[in-house]
């Protein structure tokens, strides 16, 4: 969908691809709550969430806010204030799952935008199809 209305960049000079970003990403149990952002901002928000997750797995006993407080400056400062606030809202909605290991499988296999991290993992959108034909994927889904 082309448009000019973007939460991160309020006034685009030209029409740009506008996407709906789920506050809680689909690979992390996302629901219907979404914001409207341009494609560039959408990608940047997912890069920030991936960086937060990388740091969270390196500190497995840190709570949600502690991860953000101790996040290296170079990860946090590269992003716009609105991008950070959207990522913060998303991380607050699912970050506790990293403390108890609920999202370990999802983190290992998919980035927050649903793209696979390994060659043998299907796209997250194809996950339920993959679970129908593979015992391994059914087991992985059961563990999530």
Structure confidence at residue 129 (pLDDT): 53
Q: What is the pLDDT of residues 111-130, one digit of tens each?
A: 998 888 988 887 777 655 55
| 52 vs 122: CA distance, rounded Å | 23
Domain ranges of the chain: 2-118
The pTM of this model reads: 0.82
Structure confidence at residue 14 (pLDDT): 84
Q: How confident is the model at residue 136 (pLDDT cuts 50, 70, 90)?
A: low
Task: State the DSSP string of 78-126.
Answer: TS-HHHHHHHHHHHHHHTHHHHTTTTHHHHHHB-TTS-BSSTTSPPGGG
Looking at every residue in the chain, the average pLDDT score rounds to 83
Contact 131, 122 (CB under 8 A): no
Q: Does the pLDDT at position 142 exceed 80?
A: no
Structure confidence at residue 44 (pLDDT): 94
Retrieve residue 121's tokens.
């993992």
Instruction: From 52, 74, 50, select the one nearest 64 (Cα to Cα).
Output: 52
Contact 133, 141 (CB under 8 A): no
User: Looking at the chain, which runs of residues are DSSP E strands?
Assistant: 2-3, 16-22, 34-38
Instruction: From 85, 52, 77, 87, select the one nearest 66 (Cα to Cα).
Output: 52
Q: What is the pLDDT of residues 2-30, one digit of tens each?
A: 767 888 888 788 888 888 889 888 888 87
Contact 90, 25 (CB under 8 A): yes
| 31 vs 123: CA distance, rounded Å | 18
Retrieve residue 125's tokens.
């959108």
């Amino acid at each position: 969908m082309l448009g000019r209305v973007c939460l991160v960049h309020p006034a685009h000079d030209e029409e740009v691809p506008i996407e709906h970003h789920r506050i809680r990403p689909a690979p992390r149990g996302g629901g219907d709550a979404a914001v409207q952002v341009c494609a560039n901002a959408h990608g940047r928000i997912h890069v920030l969430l991936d960086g937060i997750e990388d740091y969270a797995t390196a500190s497995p006993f840190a709570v949600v806010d502690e991860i953000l407080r101790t996040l290296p400056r170079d990860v946090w400062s590269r992003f716009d204030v609105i991008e950070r606030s959207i990522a913060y809202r998303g991380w607050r909605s699912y970050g506790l799952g990293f403390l108890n290991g609920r999202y370990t499988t999802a983190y290992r296999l998919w980035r927050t935008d649903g793209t696979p991290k390994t060659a043998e993992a299907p796209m997250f959108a194809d996950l339920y199809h993959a679970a129908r034909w593979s015992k391994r994927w059914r087991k992985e889904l059961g563990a999530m």
